[in-house]
Amino acid sequence: MNFKGYSLILSLGGTRRQFVVAFYLVAIFFIIVSVALLHGLYFLNDHLLQWTTFTQAGELLASSHPLLYIWADFIWLFVLFSISLFIRSFWFNFGSIITLSLGAALLILLTSWFFLGDTSPVFDFILTNHLAFLHIMLGISLLLSLVTYLLMRNGPLENGGRIAWRLS
């Protein structure tokens, strides 16, 4: 997410809410176009070109319904969008130090759990119940999108503007 036009939009009379809603609408449009382009390339490769074998996210699902393949790709693209949007808006609101500190702490926790904990039930669930896992990830993504909307609805005018303390 690029906030270069954020202050420009606000200076021209737009509201923060309009900025966020417009950004979501454009993102959903580009996700739909990306899914259509991706499946167009899958179709071209399978039926005309036959360059190589591409693995689709829908192949992990138990059903072979074509709309389920499209839905799985849409969910994965929306998950990537919402995670990156949340990280960018968190960084924009709270600054680099807090964002990087929380990111490092989260990375240490996840790395410790991966190497010291028992991850086999999680990976078994992901591989055996892939559709349920996709919808859990969709729910988390919708929650992150809601938090992002709440962060940016009354967002600061400059990067890191919500920080109460500053070094002078």
> Given this model, what pLDDT does residue 45 score?
79
> Given this model, what pLDDT does residue 19 score?
80
Domain spans of the chain, in order of start: 6-153
Q: Is residue 86 a contact partner of residue 146, using CB atoms and an 8 Å limit?
A: no
> Given this model, what pLDDT does residue 11 score?
73
Two tokens, residue 134: 């996709």
> Given this model, what pLDDT does residue 107 score?
96
The distance in angstroms from the start CA to the end CA of the chain is 29
Q: State yes or no: pLDDT of 17 exceeds 60.
A: yes
- CA distances 55 to 9, 36, 70, Å, are 41, 16, 13
> Given this model, what pLDDT does residue 93 score?
85
Q: Is residue 113 a contact partner of residue 66, using CB atoms and an 8 Å limit?
A: no
Q: Is the dihedral of CA 44, 66, 57, 32 positive or negative?
A: positive
Mean pLDDT of 79-95: 89
Mean pLDDT of 21-35: 91
> Given this model, what pLDDT does residue 137 score?
95
Q: Is residue 32 a contact partner of residue 21, using CB atoms and an 8 Å limit?
A: no
Two tokens, residue 87: 């990280």
Residue of 139, 138, 153, 143 whose CA lies nearest to 92: 153
Q: Residue 23's pLDDT band (boundaries 50, 70, 90)?
A: confident
CA 163 to chain centre: 25
Per-residue pLDDT tens for 52-78?
777 777 777 777 787 888 898 999 999
What is the Cα–Cα distance from 72 to 51, expressed in whole angstroms?
Answer: 23
Q: Is residue 5 a contact partner of residue 92, using CB atoms and an 8 Å limit?
A: no
More confident residue, 48 or 141: 141
Per-residue pLDDT tens for 89-137?
888 888 888 899 999 999 999 999 999 988 999 999 988 888 899 999 9
Q: Is residue 133 a contact partner of residue 125, using CB atoms and an 8 Å limit?
A: yes
> Given this model, what pLDDT does residue 160 score?
66
Q: Residue 145's pLDDT band (boundaries 50, 70, 90)?
A: very high
